[in-house]
């Protein structure tokens, strides 16, 4: 599937025109062409390589998925690889949608391997900021990056909320809560690792675009790109703090489990000590030798009294020391 748009002097004049007509516009310095390819085939890559004169290494990177977020510069264009992040509302699982972007002086080419990346949100952002369309490709690229970075920020915030929910369960009693904390903390750490791989490299990507020698961002657009860069920095710093929070949760969970185990051991030892008293008394009276009170009611009552008093005394002492 392909989508096209043509801006001339800041106005949208054509949309969804045939890709065969692109060659008529790309050499005009007053236009900005957007071409979107979803699940492209070999013929699509051959077409854009010929129409826009793209470097073979950049085209190869766009063909192969799982690229690292980056910005590569070539003589006539730049290649950008980025990921949009979305979170499952029920399970909190993060999903990354890869996006490859070719940036030329008069065209922005977006390549999506599947439909997970919602390009309609980007188009809506362009339409809502049409007053910036006069800045051409820089305007299109800003809307795309702004949408991606906002998604990163939302994912970080969602992860923060889930971490706080796990923190609230740390000191709850019950086997289910303990299992939930352990399971969720490991899942959160896995999601955070995936998020950091996407968010952290974007700092260098946006910073490179702000360089004046790249000639992609016009002077009036610099404050808008700087705003995107600030959001990237905030998301980056937030992910680092979340990593510390998850580490703290896992360490605290181990400490709480250790304390609970120590408490259980104290209780078991205390009850074993109490039970040992009647065992010792009955063992003594069970000897096959004469002793005071043997075969009499007085001896039975004496042994019973010793067991009750000694066990009660031990229970009172252990209770006072909070061992039971």
Is 208's pLDDT higher than 70? yes
Domain boundaries, the chain: 2-257, 273-321
Label residue 120 left, alpha or beta by phi (over 0 means left) and psi (-120 to 50 means alpha).
alpha
297 pLDDT higher than 80 = no
> In 3D, which of 44, 16, 23, 229 has the Cα closest to residue 107?
23
Residue 261 token pair: 């185990």
Could you give the CA distance from residue 163 to residue 76 in angstroms, rounded to a whole number?
45
Q: Nearest-CA neighbor of 79 among 51, 110, 34?
A: 110
Which comes out higher in pLDDT, residue 121 or 318?
121
Count of alpha carbons within 13 Å of 261, Cβ hemisphere only?
Answer: 7
pLDDT in tens, 22-59: 888 888 888 999 999 999 999 999 999 988 989 999 99
Asked whether 38 and 170 are in contact (CB, 8 A), the reply is: no
State the helix-helix crossing angle for 175-209 and 222-285, rounded to 10 degrees. Answer: 160
What's the distance, CA 193 to chain centroid?
6
pLDDT at 288: 61
Instruction: State the fold for domain 2-257.
Output: Beta Polymerase; domain 2 (3.30.460)
CA separation, residue 158 to residues 86, 195, 323 (Å): 10, 12, 42
Calculate what percentage of the chain has a pLDDT beyond 90.
43
Residues constituting the chain: 324
Distance of alpha carbon 188 from alpha carbon 167, whole angstroms: 12
Cut 0.85: pTM above it: no
Please say if the pLDDT value at position 63 is more than 80.
yes
Tell me the mean pLDDT in the region 145-158. 92
> Would the pLDDT of 245 be above 80?
yes
């Amino acid at each position: 599937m392909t989508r096209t748009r043509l801006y001339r002097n800041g106005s949208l004049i054509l949309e969804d025109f045939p890709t065969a007509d692109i060659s008529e516009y790309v050499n005009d310095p007053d236009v900005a062409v957007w071409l979107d390819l979803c699940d492209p085939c070999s013929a699509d890559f051959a077409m854009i390589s010929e129409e826009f004169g793209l470097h073979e290494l950049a085209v190869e990177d766009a063909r192969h998925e799982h690229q690292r977020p980056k910005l590569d510069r070539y003589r006539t264009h730049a290649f950008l690889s980025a990921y949009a992040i979305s979170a499952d509302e029920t399970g909190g699982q993060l999903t990354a949608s890869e996006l490859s972007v070719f940036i030329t002086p008069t065209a922005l080419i977006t390549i999506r391997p599947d439909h997970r990346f919602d390009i309609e949100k980007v188009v809506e952002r362009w339409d809502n900021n049409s007053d910036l369309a006069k800045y051409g490709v820089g305007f299109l690229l800003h809307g795309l990056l702004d949408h991606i970075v906002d998604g990163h920020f939302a994912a970080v915030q969602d992860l923060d909320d889930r971490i706080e929910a796990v923190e609230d369960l740390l000191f709850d009693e019950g086997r289910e809560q303990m299992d939930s904390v352990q399971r969720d903390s490991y899942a959160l750490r896995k999601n955070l690792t995936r998020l950091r791989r996407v968010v952290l490299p974007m700092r260098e990507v946006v910073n490179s675009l702000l360089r004046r020698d790249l000639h992609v961002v016009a002077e009036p657009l610099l404050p808008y790109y700087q705003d995107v860069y600030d959001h990237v920095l905030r998301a980056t710093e937030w992910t680092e703090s979340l990593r510390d929070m998850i580490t703290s949760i896992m360490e605290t969970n181990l400490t709480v489990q250790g304390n609970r185990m120590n408490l259980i051991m104290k209780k078991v030892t205390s009850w074993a000590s109490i039970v040992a008293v009647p065992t010792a008394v009955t063992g003594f009276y069970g000897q096959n030798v004469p002793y005071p009170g043997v075969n009499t009611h007085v001896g039975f009552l004496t042994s019973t009294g010793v067991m009750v008093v000694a066990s009660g005394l031990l229970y009172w002492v252990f209770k006072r020391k909070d061992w039971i």
